[in-house]
Amino acid sequence: MHFQVSEKTKKPFSLKIFVITVFGSLIAYNVLVAIIMGQFFPKRWALQVSASNASVFWTFVGMSFFNCFVEYFFHRYVLHARVVWFLSPFYRKHTRHHGLTPIAFRPHRESTPTIENRFPIIREEQHEASFFPWYAFVAFTLVATTLFIAVHWLFPRIPIFLGGSLGIASSLFLYEVLHAISHWPIEKWKPLITHRRFGRAFQCVYAFHAGHHVNVLCNESVSGFFGLPLADLVFGTLVLSPTWFPHGETPSEREMKFKMPRRARFIVFLDRFAARSHRSRSGV
pLDDT tens per residue, range 72-121:
999 999 999 988 888 888 888 899 999 999 998 887 666 678 889 999 99
Confidence of residue 7 (pLDDT cuts 50, 70, 90): very low
Residue 123 within any structural domain of the chain: yes
Over range 8-35, report the average pLDDT: 84
pLDDT higher than threshold 80 for residue 13: no
- What total number of domains does the chain contain? 1
Confidence (pLDDT) at 282: 67
Q: pTM score > 0.75 for this model?
A: yes
Residue 6 within any structural domain of the chain: no
Residue 3 within any structural domain of the chain: no
Residue 7 within any structural domain of the chain: no
pLDDT higher than threshold 90 for residue 38: yes
Confidence of residue 149 (pLDDT cuts 50, 70, 90): very high
Range of the domain at 168: 15-282
Residue 209 within any structural domain of the chain: yes
pLDDT higher than threshold 70 for residue 284: no
Confidence (pLDDT) at 128: 77
Confidence (pLDDT) at 283: 62
Residue 154 within any structural domain of the chain: yes
Residue 1 within any structural domain of the chain: no
pLDDT tens per residue, range 211-246:
999 999 999 999 999 999 999 999 999 998 878 888
Task: Tell me how far apart the alpha carbons of residues 220 and 235 are, in angstroms, rounded to a whole number.
Answer: 10
pLDDT tens per residue, range 250-272:
887 777 767 667 899 999 999 99
Confidence (pLDDT) at 112: 76
Residue 243 within any structural domain of the chain: yes
Task: Tell me how far apart the alpha carbons of residues 155 and 108 are, in angstroms, rounded to a whole number.
Answer: 62
β-sheet bridge partners, residue 115: 105
pLDDT higher than threshold 80 for residue 136: yes
Give me the DSSP letters along the chain: ----S-TT--PPP-HHHHHHHHHHHHHHHHHHHHHHHHHH-HHHHHHHHT--HHHHHHHHHHHHHHHHHHHHHHIIIIISS--SGGGHHHHHHHHHHHHHS-EEEEEETTTEEEEEE--S--SGGGGTTSS--TTHHHHHHHHHHHHHHHHHHH-TTS-HHHHHHHHHHHHHHHHHHHHHHHT--HHHHHHHHT-TTTHHHHHHHHHHHHHHHH-TTS---SSTBTTB-HHHHHHT-----S----TTSPPPHHHHT----PPPHHHHHHHHHHHHHHHHHHT-
Over range 15-29, report the average pLDDT: 89
